[in-house]
Amino acid sequence: MSVLTIVQAINKALTEEMGKDDSIVLLGEDIGVNGGVFRATEGLYQSFGPNRVIDTPLAESGIIGVAMGMSLYGLKPVAEIQFLDFIYPAFDLIVNELAKFRYRTGGQYPTHIVIRAPCGGGIKGGMYHSQSSESYFIHTAGLKVVMPSNPYDAKGLLVASIRDADPVIFLEPKRLYRSVKGEVPEGSYTVPIGNASVVAKGEDVSVFTYGAMVHVALEAAKKADEKGISVEVIDLRTLSPLDFEAIVDSVRKTGRAVVVHEAPRTLGFGAEISALISEKAFLHLEAPVTRVTGYDTPFHYSLEEVYLPSVGKVLNAIEKTAGF
């Protein structure tokens, strides 16, 4: 076991998989010589050369278009979008073409593409470097959407994503890149796509969250425990496909649910989770489902801490739900 940060775990996953499979290629802006803006691909250009670690122009539609062509000819590209906020020039290609290739060909053309993108706030990036737009891709049939919250999951989920025959949007909470460390096994392993994780067991309130908000929820759960409220925290890990059984099982146990994400509230993923709970576990609910989310505004630079869900906001929601 090694103790790694999330960015180190991602680098390890890429290094080990590329060493085993010559069909895996990386492409993106500044990922080669410079090792990426967050250094997630540091050293890979030197290890595997310019034919497998490709510095591209600043053109997201070109990055994804080339990756799609590579995939259709048998390669397994891992494309990096420097920030999730920059993905929109390639949006049509992703949701209107890439997501449909395997379906429209009856499985004859698997699309082994992983699109990596740092996401979310917490680093004073302002409105063009802090967005959480995962719902656009969760809404699109044919795409898998993954967001790890710790180094172990980051490595295992990335390996699973690279080996998957469907295109995967692999979202990396940038505020966690170096702020979270954990034990990571040497060698390849996978964390199954589609399985949530119970990161804290509890009896009174269930909190469902993902990405950077997992750590906010865990801190709020500790404070709630000091006040006599037992909180179960579920890290969804995979947003599409969603582990709805884990959600329903937890709500059936606690009877109360809080959903936390930093994306805007309206049509954020919390709305889907709330609807799912209403459909599948309504008779077990002892209180309305509560959401703690970002606001329906552009992400603010100077008011970043106001915009983001905080430990205090989550704790308040837990107490309100428990006392209903």
Catalytic residues: 129
Contact 316, 260 (CB under 8 A): no
Which of 221, 207, 200, 231 is CA-nearest to residue 289? Answer: 207
| Distances, alpha carbon 276 to alpha carbons 77, 151, 212, 311, 321, in Å | 34, 29, 23, 25, 18
- Residues 212 and 138: their CA atoms lie apart, in Å, by 18
158 closest CA partner among 189, 179, 135, 184:
189
CB-CB neighbours of 3 under 10 Å: 10
Q: Which helix (H) or strand (E) holds 160?
A: helix 151-163
Q: Are 172 and 224 in contact (CB under 8 A)?
A: no
- Burial class (CB within 10 angstroms; exposed 0-12, middle 13-18, buried 19+) of 62: middle
Query: What tokens does 150 get?
Result: 């710790």
- Return d(Cα 36, Cα 95) in angstroms, integer: 25
Helix (H, G, I), strand (E, B), or coil: what is residue 65? Answer: helix
- Rounded Cα–Cα distance for residues 39 and 37 (Å): 6
The DSSP code sequence of 240-279 is ETT-HHHHHHHHHHHS-EEEEEEEESTT-HHHHHHHHHHH
| 258-to-28, 41, 209, 299 alpha-carbon distances in Å | 37, 36, 9, 23
Which residues 6+ apart lie within 8 Å of 82 measured at CB? 28, 29, 30, 36, 37, 117, 118
SS3 185: coil
